Amino acid sequence: MGYEKNQIITAKIVDMTSEGEGIGKVEGYPFFIKDAVIGDIVQLRVTKVKKNYAYGRLEKVVTPSPFRVDPYCPFHKQCGGCQIQAMSYERQLQFKESKVRNNLIRIGGFTPEKLDQMMEPIVGMEEPFHYRNKAQYPVGTDREGNPVVGFYAGRTHSIIANTNCILGAAENQEILESILAYMKENHVPAYDEATGKGLIRHILIRKGFQSGELMVCLVLNWKGKSGAKEYLPEQKKLISELAALKNMTSVSISINTENTNVIMGKEVHTLWGKDTIEDTIDIRDAEKDFAPLGRGVTFAISPLSFYQVNPAQTEKLYSLALSYAGLTGREKVWDLYCGIGTISLFLARDAKQVYGVEIVPQAIEDARRNAWRNGIENVEFFVGKAEEVLPEKYEKEEIAADVIVVDPPRKGCDQACLETMLKMAPERIVYVSCDSATLARDLRVLCDGGYKVKKVRAVDMFPQTVHVEVIIMMQYCGKEKN
Ligand code: SAH
């Protein structure tokens, strides 16, 4: 049966795509509908018809799904950052778990029965809001000429005013309001992407959840001389207002004059307070419901540092990594794609020696500083690509590995990296992944090379969104078939 654009159709939502769209079916023909929740009966307007499927816009929820909840954020549909906020948190967790499971079956070739044995229940959050320790708000000008901060609507670059994103820290609002008031009072222009004129582009706020320390960095389109002391009109007024806020620790600016989507500039100048804020990630007992073990690792975070955005769940994920690594104090451990060394420093406490590899030189500088700061001496960090550093160290220096931990970006591990891992044949491999599809692909290679997956566990690092992190543990079993 042919469908036409703008036709109104009633459909039951029977499934969800991995991007969180509802899938409605009419006589077996699928419709993809944003903002529809599994279990809803909806009225949709057809927006685009393809041969085997069509897209529709949600017009009305006729019968709400038992999993539908009232979203907290009035902007959730326009913003698109929280794709599944209209779904109960419990159902979100189930959605994520089955996303991981389906990829492992479809791409990894694991049987459902095997997965039942290996998979442990997903690790969710008790309070799945206000979890982010970092927020980057774009600054613009509204129709009346007033400065606004908020978020980009959908995939556009027009800013919808909102100083109160429910994923961020509660303090963000007060900080943003105070910068807006300063801009208005002193006629400080927001940056305009179309003309390249104006001054303030973005506001970055970071919070150390354990220390309570707050950091603000204003990203400026500043074209004055380098080495200046005044980057903003009435700079002192702004500083004294921000410095008066509770727990404010660092106020800085970053210079970015390029016509680019990259938010931060390379240069950062501290205007007031410290250059960095501090935060601690506690080590927890993954086998005892993540009870704190009374030890942790402390980090210094600058406006440009990479740092995990959900510290509460990071503690659980890395504690799982530590538990899966099964260290006794005698092991040599590699931590590939190590970033600022967060996992490496966790592992170091229980390993003989840890080697970290990371492509971004500044991250390695941070990693070394963090090791020093925590008095950890049995770690060594290398700058470079994992797929180049690992073979080189293994072949030239014959450095061994008892355990290898990898935490690659979305595209997964490079083939050369996987091949070297197989040659090194560590007893265990721990794979932390933010994309279960590339994880499943890489697991195939490792299983064909003699490894067996023993444990799989999803961790919800980004509640309200479709993203899900997974951690798996593999053991070397020789070349027998698995
Ligand atoms: N485990 C770290 C960060 C993981 S994010 C933490 O939790 O803090 C993935 C990291 O891989 C990023 O820091 C990125 O810069 C790095 N990376 C990307 N490609 C790489 C490659 N080919 N070799 C080594 N590191 C790489």
Distance 413 CA to ligand 1 centre (A): 10
Pick out the chain residues at pLDDT < 70.
1, 479-482
Ligand 1 pocket mutation, candidates 337, 405, 433, criterion most atoms within 8 A of CB? 337
Among 409, 421, 474, smallest CA distance to 443 is for: 474
Where are the CATH 3.40.50.150 domain residues in the chain?
281-476
The pLDDT value recorded for residue 438 is 98
Whether residue 386 contacts residue 336, with contact meaning beta carbons closer than 8 Å, is answered with yes
Whole-number Å distance between alpha carbons of 325 and 319: 10
Cα of 386 to ligand 1 centre, how many Å? Answer: 9
In the prediction, which pLDDT does 478 show?
Answer: 82
pLDDT of residue 481: 47
Return the beta strands (E) in 326-365 as ranges: 332-336, 353-358
Note the pLDDT of residue 1. Answer: 60
Provide the pLDDT for residue 479: 64
Residue 159 contacts residue 140 (beta carbons within 8 Å): yes
The type of residue at 328 is T
3-state secondary structure 379-414: EEEEECCHHHHHHHHHHHHCCCCCEEEECCCCCCCC
Residue 229, pLDDT score: 83
- Domain 134-275, CATH: 2.40.50.1070
Ranges of CATH 2.40.50.140 domains, the chain: 8-68
Catalytic residues: 434
Mutation test residue for ligand 1: of 310, 319, 335, 358, the one with most atoms within 8 Å of CB: 358
Tell me: domain 8-68, CATH 2.40.50.140, correct?
yes
Distance of CA 203 to the CA centre of its chain: 19
The neighbour count for residue 309, using CB atoms within 10 Å, is: 17
Instruction: Show Cβ contacts of residue 419 under 8 Å, excluding neighbours closer than 6 positions.
Output: none
- Which of 375, 392, 374 lies closest to 383, judged by CA? 392
Distance 316 CA to ligand 1 centre (A): 19
pLDDT at site 482: 44
Residue ranges lining ligand 1, Cβ < 6 Å: 306, 308, 337-340, 342-343, 357-360, 363, 385-387, 407-409
Could you say which of 3.40.190.10, 3.40.50.150, 3.30.420.10, 3.40.50.2300 is the CATH number of the domain covering 281-476?
Answer: 3.40.50.150
Among protein residues, the one with the nearest Cα to ligand 1's atom 21 is 385
For residue 285, the CA-to-ligand 1 centroid distance in Å is 25
Ligand 1 atom 3 nearest Cα:
339
Instruction: Give the residue whose CA is nearest to atom 13 of ligand 1.
Output: 339
For residue 410, how far is its CA from the centre of ligand 1 (angstroms)? Answer: 10
